[in-house]
Amino acid sequence: MRYLLRRTLHAVFLLFGVSLLTFLFSALTPGNYFDEMRLNPQISPESIAALHTQYQLDRPLPVRYAHWLNAVAHGELGFSFAYNSPVAPLLWVRARNTLLLTVTAALLAWLLALPLGVWSASRFGRVPDRVVSWTTATLLVIPDLVLALGLLILAVRTGWFPTGGLVSVGYEEFSPLHKLGDLALHMTLPVLALVLATLPMLVRHVRASVAEVLDAPFLRAALGHGIPHRKLLYGYALRAAANPLISLFGFSVGTLLSGSLLVEVVMSWPGLGPLLLESILARDLYVVIGGVLLSMIFLVAGNLFADVLLYWADPRIHTAVSPK
């Protein structure tokens, strides 16, 4: 239990540090949201100064940070200048869409990577394994952006998939089944782009870790007891190879999230990605900080989940951390 407590404490400290740094960096960038108003002759310098005071932009940085932290503690994330509304509800809708995309992509990528990697490892060095190796290597060198654009071109040319958005026009009037189908159709391309971008890395890691344990004498011994081949691969070898893969799972959540931000922008998916991009360009300070913090929370949650899984999967950790 001490292990989990320690990991959670780590996570909290990490989030705190990230919030401080993002706040600092975004606040220290020159200019702010209201600077462009100065170009407008109809707005007097006095009203701009009044806006600064209203949004506390004239107060010193530590005070603003303390103020913001206090707001976070009360479940608020500040106020958006551009949307003229609190940040939290704005972010929640977008975060939900991003999560929908990344969770689906993560599940799909892992469900494909495990059997593919194990299959490849069990035929290590033979033709199927080489085909998998070459395909994944090729996919690895294609940048995410090119992949997403390529898929978009495919959608435009064929018309099989919608080229953007979350749902079709008139979504509210659809039947529940139709709604689900419409959403799935809209999700296909972005999810595909994300899966294609992460799958090669996952497959190669699964293959390498399984191939490494496959020669272990204790697997030979099990084979000598007459265990079926499939059970040996999935029941024994995969479990023995699980530790680095579980850690990789946490890491893959991170890469999927950052990949998702990009794919969302390219495929106009209404997630955190486009919102972050817009608000960075507009210097909508609190939206940027909130968005970064939220992605960070997802990332930390993914890693924490991996730590919990690791604790559950490997009994050796129990004693390593808290000796009897």
Q: Shortest distance, CB of residue 314 to other proteins, whole angstroms?
A: 6
- CA distance linking residue 191 with residue 263, whole number of Å: 9
Q: What is the DSSP string of 88-156?
A: HHHHHHHHHHHHHHHHHHHHHHHHHHHHHHHHHHHTTTSHHHHHHHHHHHHHHHS-HHHHHHHHHHHHH
Q: To the nearest whole angstrom, how small is the minimum distance from the Cβ of residue 316 to other proteins?
A: 7
**CB neighbour list of residue 112: distance below 8 Å, 6 or more residues apart:** 195, 199, 203
Q: By C-beta, is 74 or 316 nearer to other proteins?
A: 316
Site residues for other proteins per CB under 8 A:
216-218, 220-228, 236, 239-240, 314-316, 319
Residue nearer to other proteins on the CB measure, 38 or 230:
230
Distance CA 140, CA 150 (A): 15
What's the CA gap between 244 and 238, in Å, rounded?
Answer: 11
- Residue closer to other proteins, measured from CB, 31 or 217: 217
Secondary structure of residue 186 in the 3-state scheme: helix
Q: Which is nearer to other proteins, 84 or 319 (CB)?
A: 319
CB of 245 to other proteins, least distance (A): 15
Select 59 or 220, whichever has its Cβ closest to other proteins: 220
Minimum CB separation of residue 241 from other proteins in Å reads 12
Choice between 158 and 319, CB closer to other proteins: 319
Q: How far is the CB of 232 from other proteins (least distance, A)?
A: 10
**Least separation in angstroms between CB 204 and other proteins:** 20
The Cα–Cα gap between 217 and 234 comes to 17
Cα gap 207→26, rounded to integer Å: 42
